[in-house]
Chains A and B, each alone.
Chain A
Amino acid sequence: MTDARQGHFLTRPATIRRLWWIFSAVLAATVLGQLVIYVKGYFTVDGWFGFGAVFGFLSCLLMVLFAKALGVLLKRPRDYYQQQERNDDA
């Protein structure tokens, strides 16, 4: 399965391109599937066509952007707390 020149088949660009096509087809199928399968909405909006897809995508987008913004405030170097101890020792 592993080829010395091309690496593992899962890491080859051709495979990755193919996986993206398959993934896109599955994504489309889950949305179009709602044409034939009834999705029960408990609060009206969640029964709308493609609600799960849009809601899932937008929620993740918001969470990533929020985490990114929060990271600016909260991220510190990995040895942040050890630095304090070193300063105390010095």
Chain B
Amino acid sequence: MPEWMSPALIMLAAALAIGPARGHLRTALVLGAPLLTLWAVWQVPDGVQDTLRFMSYQIEPVEGSPLRRLFATIFALMAFVGGLFAFRLARWHELAAAYAYAAGAIGVSFAGDLITLFLYWELMALFSTVVVWCGGTAASRAAGIRYAILHLLGGVMLKVGIEGIVVSTGSIQITPMLAQDFNSAMVLCGILINAAAPPLSAWLADAYPESSPTGSVFLSAFTTKTAVLALILLFPGEPLLVGVGLFMVMYGIIYALLENDIRRILAYSIVNQVGFMVCAVGIGTQLALNGAAAHAFAHIIYKALLFMSAGVVIYRTGRNKCTELGGLFQTMPLTTVCCIVGALSISSFPLTSGFTTKSLISQAAAYEGMATVYLLLTAASAGVFLHAGIKFPWFVFFQRDSGLRPKDAPWNMALAMLIFAALCILLGVYPQWLYALLPYPMEYQAYSAGKVLFYLQLLLFSGLAFFLLLPLMKRTDTLSLDVDWLWRRALPAALGWLGRRADALQGPAGRLLQWLRGVFTHLAVHYLGQPHTADSEERGLFARSWPIGTTALWIAILLSAYVLVYYL
């Protein structure tokens, strides 16, 4: 493979070829491309492989390091198992979009400079939106639009920050920094939006559960974990991240406890788990960064496994609410067992991957003498068992008998779940396999009798709390307000109020209000789109099916403007 060629290009080529390919050729592409990518990932040696000139910049499309290979490995593995899970059910354009999305994540992993990173970053934003849209419902279309707007906003912030850094330092190198000036703060904000950090966490639980049962498996893996990688590369030891991470950890638990939609519970728990990683990046020691990387690796596996089990349940029953499910263990034993393995892993139960990776982060906090952080992370570990470890499998597969007797998973979905369930246990029993791939060498004993006993006490008594408090956790068919209330409810209400005032008022004030209403209505209709518009009607700009061309055009315009400004 040429040195300048990123392994991401294999996935991208596969994404382009999936559409025209038919039958067995398509299956071979879907299953073969991620494996070929995985092989290519391990052919990338350490260091910058090649440089290309773009305008006056030295572009480094491929830079290898243990950390980058680790993330690219799990992204490629995820694409393979996700492809195996999805290929018989998902439509070709969902698979193609998911593979282009995975290509973006792998591209970011190897990006040696900020411009390459940004391009792959936007590729992810673009095609993850398409994956959300592949949910195929009016709700998924609307959620996809909200998702796209937020991610484009994050992209713009990232771009502004990168350009500022380029102007002030003249360098496009990816080097560790702290958010001490406007430029680096913008880069940090752009990355944190993708990590689902506060105050803009709502997009994740809004969009992911509206995708198809197969789409959500891909979505759960790439965006947030690429953000974690970017944070490790750019902001290790940024103190702000400790607080941000702790907030995410608690936010995820509380919102998941209130939730009824099974994939929304899992979506909130992504925020919770990414919070652990963000906090670890904030702690910033070698052990903590190893913990963030290892936890991201393990998290992708068990979270995809949980989303797969939820996907199978939705595929087989057509239902997605705790209040409508229950008792499925009787006819879906394999899905139940795989779900329980994923649930135990996310709860960091001993002998699962969660235990061997999350404990690195707690240990790092302990070694740094951060008592509050350590105790909050420990409390959060108990909370994870509560909301994801027991609540999710309990309400879906046990609790009362819903009377549903669906068939178990089809063979390909079962195989995908079994592969990831086996990995959860393997990495729990043989953590040294994963530890050997981590960016920094470390002497760490994952298991000691005292540590296992402590975690068993913590988790099993959380379990006791769950069953004793069950009456308090009775599911209600509700949603929980989040920050997105501002633009989903308050903004339209304000526009409506403005409209009524404008109609009533006469004179200059009335004319001003009418003008303002015109501007806002134009913006809302033209850019936000109208999610409830019937298919035959004209849709808003982002609701039309032309995102690739438009974005390419905008990139071209932005680059041209940049060249112009540069030479003036």
Contact = CB atoms under 8 A, between A and B. Distances in A.
Nearest to A29: B456
Contacts, number: 154
B366 interface: yes
A77 B448 CA distance: 47
A80 B482 CA distance: 12
B246 interface: no
A12 B493 CA distance: 52
Interface stretch (B66-74, B123-131, B294-302, B465-473): B465-473
A37 B449 contact: yes
7 contacts: A30-B460, A40-B451, A53-B461, A57-B462, A60-B462, A65-B472, A81-B479
Given A8-B330, A50-B457, A63-B383, A40 B258 contact: no
B489 interface: yes
A64 B461 contact: no
Contact of B469 (A55, A60, A76): A60
Interface in B374-424: 374-375, 378-379, 382-383, 386, 398, 401
A90 B476 CA distance: 28
Interface of A: 2, 7-8, 10-11, 23, 26-27, 30-31, 33-34, 37-40, 42-43, 46, 50-57, 59-61, 63-68, 70-71, 73-78, 80-81, 84-85, 88-89
Contact of B257 (A56, A64, A80): A64
A53 B472 contact: no
B453 A10 contact: no
Contacts of A57: 461-462, 464-465
B461 A27 contact: yes
Given A11-B401, A60-B469, A88 B462 contact: no
Do most interface residues of chain B lie in helix, strand or loop, or is the interface mixed?
Answer: helix
B56 interface: no
A46 B378 contact: yes
A42 to B, nearest CB: 4
A56 to B, nearest CB: 4
A56 B461 contact: yes
A84 B57 CA distance: 50
B106 to A, nearest CB: 35
Given A39-B450, A42-B374, A89-B532, A74 B481 contact: yes
Contacts of A23: 460, 463-464
A52 B532 contact: no
Contacts of A74: 258, 480-482
